[in-house]
Structure 1
Amino acid sequence: MKMLLAKILGTGFGTGYFPFASGTLGSALAVAMYWFIPGFSETTFLLLAALIFFFAGVWASSLLEEPYGQDPSEATIDELVGQWIALLFLPKTLLSISLAFAAFRFFDITKIEPANQLQKLPRGWGVMMDDVMAGIYANLFCHAIYFLLGQLSSQ
């Protein structure tokens, strides 16, 4: 029962079993939840979801490493959390969501330091923390774009 729950949560509700680009599919699920579930995009709810899923992800990813190996591609709960962090404090618009999605995928794939070092943490901590960092990078990038666009439009 414990492993079944770990597989459901840890694979991002099954997105991790997709044969290719499972991380992108996990991020897309996070965006769909943000867009379609009423109240999900509210800052307090999004922060709470990211926090709960972060700790659930550390637990589930640690268990998933037993059958699938270290930092398995099947573990996509980290994409959910990272994508939600990327969306924090942004307006709920198609532009913001598209920008946050693209930025998160870029930073998740490139693993710019310290994300690369965070990935080396043991067990589920490494699985989760590099995506948390990618989400922070993407969020800061999106806010910088909005700031620059605001500055340009006021001139």
Structure 2
Amino acid sequence: MKLLSQDPALKRLSLSNPIHFLALGFGSGLAAKAPGTFGTLAAIPVYLLLAQLSLPVYLLATLISVLIGFYICDKAAKDMQVHDHGAIVWDEVAGLLITLIALPAGWQWLVIGFVLFRFFDIIKPWPIKWLDAKVEGGFGIMIDDVVAGIFALICVQGLAYFIQF
């Protein structure tokens, strides 16, 4: 793995550019190792802020994060001249927000949601792997994480149905 300072794609971005700042998950995507995990961690404060709002507002904010993510990820990838560079982690932010929809109260559920989302994002069961390989552009960068978030959401809600902490 190239050092961050040696990566020519990253030299084409600037954290002072709001689109780049968001695409890089507030800078978390610049982590030398496991940028997707760090991007997912960066989504937690966003979730904690949004979780204070009503469910309809949370859903709207999550939808907006996905829709603007198509553009943000596409623009950053084009600016980097690399499709789906590992530093682009807005898709992880949006994916975790999907996972945590109507999350039961308690830090345990946040940890479970985080772990399940990372599991689906890393393992990429069908159709996630297919989408990741076949769909291009900002939509392609986002869609595998959107589906991973939906899978993780279903699992979290299923567990919540049967388990009470």
Same fold by TM-score greater than 0.5: yes
Aligned position for 1:116: 129
How big is the shift at 1:29?
A: 1.5
Q: Could you say if the C-alpha distance between residues 5 and 38 of structure 1 is closer, same or farther in structure 2, counting changes exceeding 3 Å?
A: closer
How big is the shift at 1:65?
A: 1.6
The 1-side partners of 2:71 and 2:127 are apart by 22
**1:130 matches 2:144:** yes
The count of residues paired between Structure 1 and Structure 2 equals 148
TM-score, normalising length: structure 2: 0.81
Q: Could you say if the C-alpha distance between residues 111 and 38 of structure 1 is closer, same or farther in structure 2, counting changes exceeding 3 Å?
A: closer
The 1-side partners of 2:51 and 2:92 are apart by 20
The 1-side partners of 2:105 and 2:87 are apart by 29
- Give the conservation status (yes or no) of the 8 Å contact 1:7–1:64: yes
Aligned position for 2:162: 148
* Aligned equivalent of 2:88, options 67, 75, 78: 75
- Give the conservation status (yes or no) of the 8 Å contact 2:104–2:160: no
How big is the shift at 1:51?
A: 1.4
AA aligned to 1:75 is: I
Name which of structure 1's ranges 59-68 and 93-102 shifts more when overlaid on structure 2.
59-68
- Which consecutive residues of structure 2, in runs of 5 or more, have no partner in the other structure? 1-13
- SS of residue paired to 1:118: helix
- SS of residue paired to 2:46: helix
- Give the conservation status (yes or no) of the 8 Å contact 1:41–1:92: no
- Which consecutive residues of structure 1, in runs of 5 or more, have no partner in the other structure? 151-155
Q: CA RMSD in A?
A: 2.0
Aligned position for 1:153: none
**1:54 matches 2:94:** no
TM-score, normalising length: structure 1: 0.86
Runs of 4+, deviation exceeding 6 Å:
none
The 1-side partners of 2:89 and 2:52 are apart by 19
How big is the shift at 1:68?
A: 4.7
Aligned position for 1:9: 22
The 2-side partners of 1:39 and 1:147 are apart by 20
- SS of residue paired to 2:163: helix
Aligned position for 1:65: 77
**1:97 matches 2:97:** no
